[in-house]
Chain A
Amino acid sequence: MEPTTFSSLQDFMLHSKTITYVLMGGGLVGLACFWYFLCGRDKDIKRF
């Protein structure tokens, strides 16, 4: 895999942060779903 070349720091930050923020959004949704999966069989789910 060839490393991507960047002509300026702004290009690099724009590239890496864009990918990171998309991944973070996915991670947040994924973690919430994972929590529901973990607690799916719990008997005493407290609802406030």
Chain B
Amino acid sequence: MRGLIRKLKTLPIPTLREAVDFGRDTLLSIPRTPGNYLTAAILLLGGLVTILRFTIGIGGVTNLDDANPWGIWIAFDLLCGVALAAGGYTTSAACYLFGLKRYHGAVRPAILTAFLGYAFVVIALHFDVGQPWRLVYPIFLSQGTTSVLFEVGLCVFIYLCVLFTEWTPAAFEWLDGRFAWFDGFINWRKIRNFVVRLTIPLTILGVILSTMHQSSLGALFLTSPGKLHPLWYSSFLPVFFFVSSMFAGLSMVIFEGGLAHAGLHDKMDQAHLDSSHEVAFGFAKAASFIMAGYFCMRIFDLAMSNNWAYLATGYGILYLVELFGFVIFPCFLFAMGSREKKLWLVRFGAVMAILGIVLNRFIVCLIAFNWQLPSDERYFPSIMEVIVSVFIVTCIVTAYRLICHFLPILHEHPDYKDAH
């Protein structure tokens, strides 16, 4: 301990001037592209709305009221965020549990996307709850063990810790030998190797937790059979939410792989580039089959509840558009793309599948919810709610780009090649 203190005393401590100069130089080194200007504008606008939200309160920035207690912050930021972050457990399960090692290159980007997705779901929840400082109460102070929402909260909390742990090897590889401060008293390689040894148990835990909370998010709506339209209300809602999260996660990995190729091509090594097409075609095949099964289950449910008559109504048309336009159509695109090895078809299918998931969650949470209320009492989001949601997505993309810029996510660290 004395040696450590002596070492810390000898370390050069940067002055305030040096720290300011470092910050200014870092900001000035960001390329001035239209995309970066747009990102800066959204972050600035989102920051202003965030200040408004936490000063004038939730009622001042949203159109929520007693009849509509939740809006797009729950539908988009939470339900879509959790579903689209499912790529983490699907990819790591495929690679580590099913032994499909050819998808190894997709694991780290998928884990990072899932980790950022869940982290920002929790951040977005702070905007949505009336007393955000009480968000930790259900975990540490007052456990409502009979509540489905408690199960969702607990699973998300534990899964976020699991995803963080699964992501840390990349951070440890980056830290190893980078800072002289840690030399001699922290062995990053040893810690990294220890965490890597935990991969299989963490993956199993991740799959269990995801199965539980993805389905529980659907189970939340089982408490309101009179409020949700009969075409979407089903006792199988938990199953639908879980199964749809599987192809949502796979589609998200394909979509994110396409974006990474466009924006972070220089950060990818040859092994990653070589495996990326195989990942896209393999995941498209899996997503296509799962979507076909999901479509069948939705039709079986329609038949079981004998809700055919509702198909001739306005909600029925929405149901058919969702099912044929955003489930069967992307399923067909995935099938043709993976069969004919056409990458653009697979990527187009991924976009359609993601839009389908967003549409489904919006319908269940907002559009078909409170469907019997007169239209003037229905909810429509305010512009500030939309700004916050766009702000959250921009934060995720910015954080992803920043982490991929520094950490070995899209490439192998030169000192750790084949060390997996």
Contact = CB atoms under 8 A, between A and B. Distances in A.
Interface of A: 1-4, 12, 15-17, 19-20, 23-24, 27, 30-31, 34-35, 37-41
Interface residues of B, number: 21
Contact of B309 (A1, A31, A37): A1
7 contacts: A27-B300, A34-B292, A35-B289, A37-B339, A38-B288, A38-B335, A40-B339
A4 B310 CA distance: 12
B338 A38 contact: yes
A37 B309 CA distance: 33
B335 A34 contact: yes
B59 to A, nearest CB: 41
Nearest to B297: A27
Nearest to A6: B306
Contacts of A17: 304
Given A1-B311, A38-B335, A31 B293 contact: yes
B339 A41 contact: yes
Contact of B300 (A20, A34, A39, A41): A20
Interface in B301-335: 303-306, 308-309, 311-312, 335
Contacts of B308: 1
Interface in B146-177: none
A16 B307 CA distance: 10
A30 B338 CA distance: 19
A19 B308 CA distance: 11
A36 B312 CA distance: 34
B289 A38 contact: yes
Contact of A23 (B303, B305, B341): B303
B285 interface: yes
B309 A2 contact: yes
B296 interface: yes
Nearest to B339: A41
A2, A4, A16: most-surrounded residue (chain B CB, <10 A): A16
A23 B299 CA distance: 8
A31 B340 contact: no
A44 B296 CA distance: 29
A27 to B, nearest CB: 4
A2 to B, nearest CB: 7
A15 B300 contact: no
Main secondary structure of the interface of B (DSSP, over half): helix
A20 to B, nearest CB: 4
A17, A20, A39, A41, most chain B CB atoms within 10 A: A20
Contact of B306 (A15, A23, A27, A35): A15
Contact of A16 (B285, B306, B312, B339): B306
Given A1-B308, A2-B309, A38-B339, A31 B303 contact: no
A12 B306 contact: yes
Contacts of A2: 309
A12 B300 CA distance: 15
A3 B300 contact: no
B298 to A, nearest CB: 11
A16 B303 contact: yes
Contact of A20 (B304, B312, B338): B304
A20 B335 CA distance: 26
A28 to B, nearest CB: 9
A-B pairs, 9 with minimum CB distance: A27-B296, A3-B309, A20-B303, A16-B306, A1-B312, A19-B303, A20-B304, A1-B309, A41-B339
A41 B305 contact: no
Contacts of A15: 306
Contacts of B285: 38-39
Given A35-B289, A38-B339, A16 B309 contact: no
Contacts of B288: 38
Interface string B269-309: 00000000000000001001100110010011001111011
Contact of A4 (B289, B306, B341): B306
A1 B316 CA distance: 12
A1 B288 CA distance: 33
A48 B313 CA distance: 50
Contacts of A20: 300, 303-304
A39 B338 CA distance: 9
A12 B293 CA distance: 26
